[in-house]
Amino acid sequence: MTDNNKNYYVTTPIYYVNDKPHLGHAYTTIACDVLARFKRLDGYNVKFLTGTDEHGLKVHQAAAKAGVDPQSFTDKVSQNFRDLVGVMNFSNDDFIRTTEDRHKKAAQALWTKLVEKGDIYLDKYSGWYAVRDEAYYGEDELQDVDGKKIAPSGAECEWVEEESYFFKLSEWQDRLLEFYEANPDFIMPDARRNEVVSFVKGGLRDLSISRTNFDWGVPVPGDEKHVMYVWIDALTNYITAIGYPDVDAADFRAYWPADLHMVGKDILRFHAVYWPVFLMAADLAPPKRVFAHGWWTIEGQKMSKSLGNVIAPQDLVDRYGLDQSRYFVLREVPFGNDGNFSHENAVNRINSDLANGLGNLSQRTLSMIYKNCDEQFPQPNEFTEDDKMVLDMAQDQMISKVRTELDKQRFHKAIEEIMLVANEANAYIDRQAPWTLKKEDPERMKTVLYVLAECIRCLGIIMQPLTPSCAAKMLDQVKVAEGERSFAYLSAEHALKAGTKIEKPEGIFPRIVEEEEKAQAAG
């Protein structure tokens, strides 16, 4: 049963529609999806938002290059990101587009509020602008490369001069630093927090928040020759989706401030500096946390179209399987660090953890029960200390440890805790050797097999956020009812019932066999 006081709001960044989805987009959303599924199973009312950012000069130029109007262009590319939801089995509750009327209304309402508060003024802007980043940079942040000005992101900058509305960001430096001090977990991981604090301590300049050299954006209220700078427009999506400007809307009251904005490290500044200030200036609470994860390289090289090494999410699914891909990207690299995607590592990790670890545990246990216990869970006898130790790890310790790690977005650590239980169950089966007990002590064999089946039930329940389809198959095989798969059932009182009939088990996590192995087996 969900508790109305247990609400959880998690968001991906809204993805920019000038290109197709790739591994980086999938990575962020997989992480958010795992958290959303975990919290739902843990009794929370969850709001999980993703979507597309569709305004700005970059989109305007991409549409012109494609020979279509911007709305038609964004309709098509946004659909690619919506299709990703099905490809990767995401469980988002909403998909927002910044071209929607509800969003324009919210963005204009926020702008109007900031004007009323005296934080916006009209002036002239001149400075360095990176179209690719939709960001302005100070001279001190740029490098001269072959006569071009290059931003820290690697984007080329151009000199821009135009009339612009400005936000009085410079007046917020001390208040922002006080906010960081009072909320040490607002920016994570710690290394990113230190970068942002250092940036703010270096001094904040007023921020140009409108443009007049193109018209593809949300019009500025009362001055429609200006459109909103993409970052004040785009960031507003997080409150649009819960009913802003109606701050009395049920969703707004339930879910704001957001529990977590998940972003890539390249857009941390916008989320950790500009966004909390816009909100505080509008008398709204900032989000509780912004987590900036790292970037993926592919076989040691930066992902780029020119190198032809961009991995599309569908490629992952086709090559490794959907749940296996979800598992690998969160298991392989400490979340927050940069990571390298290699085919060899993916195969090794999927085979060792899923096929040989969880899959093998499930297959051999259930096969023995099916063959030796009349196709039903056996009645256990008194548990030994070894039995109790394994059961306690699975039924009690695992969930609290995984919860602790996921609440800090340490996905790799959470998965380690799960695999610790799977590995212990595999060690237990080897220690107890039920195949030997079958001849020497059949009653003891039944207890051992019951303990292992109960471990599989617990592992199936806790693997649901990571590998939803495969975990469902695990739970089907141990006959766990649909209504008994939440974390509330991870305890001894909900253990498997002896005498429950099972079907002949089938493999859940097939081993990935490389072409060379197939050839050797055939030869």
- Mind listing the pLDDT tens digit for each residue in 323-360? 999 999 999 999 999 999 999 999 999 999 999 999 99
CATH assignment of the domain containing 432 = 1.10.730.10
* 301-327 per-position pLDDT tens digit: 877 766 778 889 999 999 999 999 999
Q: What mean pLDDT is predicted for residues 30-45?
A: 98
Q: How confident is the model at residue 4, as a pLDDT?
A: 54
| Residues 461 and 474: beta-carbon distance below 8 Å | no
Whether 473 is covered by a domain: the verdict is yes
Kindly state whether residue 387 falls inside one of the protein's structural domains.
Answer: yes
- Cβ(327)–Cβ(353) under 8 Å? yes
Tracing tokens 């602008």 back to the chain, one arrives at: 129
Inside any domain, residue 425: yes
Does residue 201 or residue 308 have the better pLDDT?
201
CA atoms lying within 13 Å on the CB side of residue 491: 6
**Is the residue at 384 inside a domain?**
yes
Q: Residues 11-29: what's their mean pLDDT?
A: 90
Token digits of residue 202: 């270096």
pLDDT band at 1 (very low <50, low <70, confident <90, very high): very low
Whole-angstrom CA distances from 1 to 4, 72, 133, 180, 486 are 10, 44, 44, 35, 10
Residue 19 pLDDT more than 90?
no
Mean pLDDT of 128-142: 86
113 found inside a domain: no
Read off the pLDDT band of 3 (50, 70, 90). Answer: low
Task: Give domain status of residue 49, yes or no.
Answer: no
In a domain, 110, yes or no: no
83 sits in which H/E element: helix 70-87
Domain range for 471: 343-494
Q: What residue type is 153 in one-letter code? A: S
The pLDDT assigned to 231 comes to 79
The separation between CA 49 and the C-alpha centre of its own chain, rounded to angstroms, equals: 11
Q: Among 42-56, 117-131, 275-289, where is mean pLDDT lowest?
A: 117-131
Residue 463 has pLDDT above 90, yes or no: yes
Identify whether 152 is preceded by a cis peptide bond (ω within 30 of 0).
no
Positive or negative, the CA dihedral 122, 126, 127, 130 is positive
pTM: 0.93
- Domain tally for the chain? 1
Residue 408 pLDDT exceeds 80: yes
Q: Which amino acid is at 309?
A: N
pLDDT at 33 over 50: yes
Residue appearing with tokens 């006081």: 5
With a cut of 80, say whether residue 146 has pLDDT above it: yes
Question: Is the peptide bond prior to 245 cis by the omega test (within 30 degrees of 0)?
Answer: yes
- SS3 category, 167: strand
> pLDDT at residue 139 above 90?
no
Please indicate, yes or no, if residue 408 is contained in any of the structural domains: yes
Rounded Cα gap, residues 80 and 89, in angstroms: 14
Mean pLDDT over 149-167 rounds to 92
DSSP 254-266: HH-S-SEEEEEGG
